[in-house]
Amino acid sequence: MVHLQELYIGYNDLQGPLPPCLANLTSLKQLDISSNQITGNISSFPLKDLPSLKVLDISNNHFQGQIPMEIGTKLPKLISLNISRNFFNGSIPSSFGNMTSLQSLDLSNNNLFGGIPKHLAMGCFSLELLDLSNNNLKGKIPRWFGSLSHLEVIVMANNKLEGPLPKELCQLNSLMILDLSMNDISGSSPSCFGDLNIIQLHLSRNRLQGRLEDASYINISSLVLLDLSFNHLEGNIPSWIGELSSLGYLILGNNSLEGKLPTQLCNLRELRMIDLSQNNLYGKIPSCLDFTGLHEENGNDTNEYIISYLYNIPFRSEESLQFTTKSISYSYKGRILKFMSGIDLSCNKLSGEIPHTIGNLTRILTLNLSHNNLAGSIPTTFSNLKQIESLDLSYNNLNGKIPSELVEIYTLSVFSVAYNNLSGKTPERIKQFATFEESSYEGNPFLCGQPLNKSCNPVEPPLLTPGDSTDNKEDDGDFVYMDIFYITFVVTYIVVLLVNPYWRRAWFYLVEKLMVSCYYFVIDHLP
């Protein structure tokens, strides 16, 4: 088929090396053999015989060895190159700088090491997507990234990159996704990010420092996802957070943030997921937390439109987001983000009552308020959370009864109110609540009922049958009890005298005095 221009054989079960006869397809423009079990070394494949190739996708196979230099020199018309999810090692070839038409480069999920070659900036002027994630790349983030003005997606997560974020990143006016999570990046995030149109910003699991107030994202009205978790950020949650009108996912957990929850959080009407856990936040939970994005019917499709637009760009990149639900940290990726929702305020110092308005967030899937100082009762409005799967209110100071209406929630798989001051009877063991064990309720001394080993009915003394024998037994029992009393009294008396030497001497002195008095009394009164 010498005139064949497009060949798609991906997502099959093809095995073995690439056949040399593919080199006969000199008219081939697009070749997709992704998601198979093809092995071997791609350097043995005659790439020089495919000069018209524009799209090459060999991802998710079992290729190994180094990336051949010929890719950059023999494929001058290449627009998209995807060799991710293989076993390539070595460094990124400097010849990639010769691909002046290249728009998408995905080298993720391999064993590449070394630095990011400067040659990319010398020739890849059309580059729109660069994915180098899940490798062993080292060094600083190059400042020359600022010269790649067409970049829309930069993903370099889970490497060993270090140093501060270069301010030259702020020159990328087309940037929509920036993912540098799980590296060793230090310093603070540039305040100039507020001048960009970023939709997703992933900087979690680094060593970022400074006060969050100093990093200004106030002008990023397009920002849908902000993940700064697992860093060393300090200070209060800034008031400008309320200006991020499109924000749907706010992940700031595992930092050193302090202060009260700002009421500006209530302006985030599109919010679907918020994680502020493992910080030093205190004060009350604002009662105005009534996000439209977590309403079953009232929410609009702003976030869905933005995410849909984002993932329909010519070169798709599905970024993951870590969120803890059901006591396990899960990774949510790509379009699935719009189906995930939750609130995690655990492990802080929050106090006051739980706002009953949280019960209006009917689309919520997980709610974690554990390990705080919350008081008051559990709102009965929680029975409106018909889609919730995980509800954790443990380790607080909640009191009162557990609302019986909670048994109407059929989706609940994790439930815990352990270690509070709750009282009364546990919810009826029906439907989902029949699956919750003692660990869901332990640590509440005034709580009773199954599955706790504490009955809610007081134990009554056994009734005695009337009769003469009963009276005799009671009399015999009284006699036995009196004998026991006398014996116990005498033994205790003797023990006290033997143990305490002062009382022993006093007792002997008294006995001696009584004996002398008795002797003289007898002598004086005998005739």
Q: How many other C-beta atoms are found inside a 10 Å radius of the C-beta of residue 269?
A: 19
Give pTM, 2 decimals: 0.80
Cβ pair 345, 277 in contact under 8 A: yes
Structural domains of the chain sorted by starting position, each given as residue range(s) with its CATH number in brackets: 1-127 (3.80.10.10)
Q: What is the pLDDT of residue 315?
A: 36
The C-alpha R_g of the chain, in whole angstroms, comes to 37
For residues 502 and 225, which has the higher predicted lDDT (pLDDT)? 225
Does residue 44 have a pLDDT over 60? yes
For residues 67 and 461, which has the higher predicted lDDT (pLDDT)? 67
What average pLDDT does the structure give for the chain?
Answer: 84
SS3 category, 292 = helix
Q: How many CA atoms lie within 13 A of 442 on its CB side?
A: 5
Torsion angle in degrees (nearest 10) through CA of 478, 479, 483, 488:
0
**Measured between alpha carbons, how far is 310 from 225 in angstroms, rounded to an integer?**
12
The mean pLDDT of 12-24, rounded to a whole number, is 90
Q: What is the pLDDT of residue 325?
A: 65
Which of 386, 392, 310 is CA-nearest to residue 346? Answer: 392
Max avg pLDDT among 147-161, 213-227, 489-503: 147-161
**Measured between alpha carbons, how far is 398 from 403 in angstroms, rounded to an integer?**
12
Q: How many other C-beta atoms are found inside a 10 Å radius of the C-beta of residue 28?
A: 24
In the chain, the amino acid numbered 287 is S
Per residue in 324-372, pLDDT (tens digit) is: 665 666 666 556 666 778 999 999 999 999 999 999 888 899 999 999 9
Beta strands in 316-365 (DSSP E): 320-325, 328-333, 342-344, 349-353
SS3 category, 80 = strand
Per residue in 478-519, pLDDT (tens digit) is: 444 566 666 776 666 666 666 566 666 676 677 777 777 776
Cis peptide preceding 451, ω within 30 of 0: yes
**Measured between alpha carbons, how far is 344 from 329 in angstroms, rounded to an integer?**
12
The mean pLDDT of 157-186, rounded to a whole number, is 93
Task: Name the β-bridge partners of 328.
Answer: 325
Residue 73 pLDDT grade (very low, low, confident, very high; cuts 50, 70, 90) = confident
Pull the structure tokens for residue 60. 């998710």
Cβ pair 94, 121 in contact under 8 A: no
Q: What is the pLDDT of residue 444?
A: 94
Max avg pLDDT among 84-88, 164-168, 194-198, 448-452: 84-88
Which of 165, 435, 268, 142 is CA-nearest to residue 130? Answer: 142
Pull the structure tokens for residue 389. 């799967």
Q: What is the pLDDT of residue 367?
A: 94
